[in-house]
Amino acid sequence: MTHTAPTARQTSPARTVLISGAGIAGPALALWLHRYGFEPTVVERAPKLRPGGYKVDLRGTAIEICKRMGIMDAVRARSTDMQTGSYVDTNNRTVGELPADIFGGRSGDDDEITRGDLARILYERTRDDAEYLFGDSIASLTEDADGVLVTFENAEPRRFDLVVGADGMHSHTRRLVFGDERHFKRHLGAYISIFTAPNDLKLDRHEAYHALPDKLVCAYSSRGETTAKNMFVFASPELTFDHRDTAAQKEILANTFAQDHSWEIPRLLTNAEAADDFYFDSMGVIEMDRWSKGRVVLLGDAAHCTSPASGQGTGLALLGAYHLAGELAAANGDFGRAFAAYEAHLRPGVEHTQKFAEGFVGEMTMDRKWKIQLRLLMVRTLPKMPWRNLIAKKITEDVQKMAHIVPVKEYAEARAGEAEARAGEAEARVTEVVRSGSTV
């Protein structure tokens, strides 16, 4: 990025905000910014909304944000409604089964939804209030005293008051403004791949796990789905590949599991080839000294990816969007103050979550057979143990502590908009019922 003038404190309120990335954080921010009277524009590199992803947990304070956004009913309607999770042996025999809520450490209103469904809900709630530019990307950013001149790969150049990089772990905005990803990314020693596949195992709201040394393979199917999702995780030092080259990633996955014939691995692996929502990435974290520079700020994974191992990345993206917009609205034009307050509020929770993720990667890819045997023994015997409720409570308490680690700050404008959002949600529900021809 080019700076042509220092940008200390702005007095006239910023109104136009360019958001790079229509994943989770970007559309959530657009929703809040619109509610506060800003004009958000979202640019997304993909030609349309990206549907992929495994199920993601929404817990604790992130649930409160969903309620305030007015999307909680829509989230519940698309809840995975998972009932059970089990470990299976090489012959597909169940070794032990637990209720899904214990697996997920869920409590109260906590819910689970696929990442793709959440992305769609957020997009549908914002597409009339924010401008979306699909199939495009920022080419350059030039900041001056009054704003940022943005050139795009396709669209004509435009000026914006502020720019937000919500373009994921491999953030392009971060690269333009802060430098190469290698300065900020720390690989946690494993890779993860997720894709939609036929539900060959006839799973119904059930998730099956099969563990091998250094590897974990899962498949699940959620409520009302005719398909399943397959997930492959494997321990590995950092690999060199182009994160946009899906064919190369499929090859890495196929080679890594080529010698593994236990359970249904060969069949599940074959499904990767045809998957059009194939996702493959490093279990890594993004660690930065600061999340903003001048008029540009990072949000979600772009700022602080906590890796899929944390189970908190989506919740933190929603919390970040709420607080960034709230601070911008409250700062009345002093965007530097808003960026600092947003970061100060999120950072302690992010750092705690990243530490947890680092430890949990080893739990996902157990490196010794005896560790796997111990896990299987635990899962098999836990339901029969007299103290099972205590253990379940402890698991839930630990997860819940993390799920509440970022408290929800109050912004006067947020509560005012909430009533409106709830009314909108009720209206959307009625429209849905009328459209589907069913009765209430």
**Contact set with ligand FAD (CB under 6 A):** 20-26, 43-46, 50, 52-54, 56, 115, 137, 166-168, 172, 194, 279, 300-302, 308, 313-314, 317
DSSP 262: S
* Nearest residue (CB) to ligand FAD, 10 versus 296: 296
Q: How many residues does the chain have?
A: 440
- From the CB of 1, what's the least distance to ligand FAD, in Å? 14
Q: How far is it, in rounded angstroms, from Cα 61 to Cα 38?
A: 25
* Nearest residue (CB) to ligand FAD, 10 versus 114: 114
Q: For residue 102, give the 3-state DSSP assignment.
A: helix
Q: Amino acid identity of 298?
A: L
* Nearest residue (CB) to ligand FAD, 210 versus 229: 229
Single out the residue of 321, 329, 417 nearest to residue 14, CA to CA.
329
* Nearest residue (CB) to ligand FAD, 10 versus 271: 271
Nearby residues of 142 by Cβ (< 8 Å), 6 or more positions away:
1, 2, 3, 4, 148, 149
* Nearest residue (CB) to ligand FAD, 149 versus 378: 149
- From the CB of 9, what's the least distance to ligand FAD, in Å? 28
- From the CB of 20, what's the least distance to ligand FAD, in Å? 5
- Residue number closest to ligand FAD, CB atom: 23
* Nearest residue (CB) to ligand FAD, 301 versus 425: 301
Tokens at 329, concatenated: 């609205």
Pairing of strands 147-152, 158-160: antiparallel
- From the CB of 433, what's the least distance to ligand FAD, in Å? 30
- From the CB of 118, what's the least distance to ligand FAD, in Å? 8
- Strand ranges for 213-322 from DSSP E: 215-221, 227-235, 279-286, 292-293, 296-298
Q: How far is it, in rounded angstroms, from Cα 5 to Cα 16?
A: 19
- From the CB of 48, what's the least distance to ligand FAD, in Å? 10
End-to-end CA distance of the chain: 54
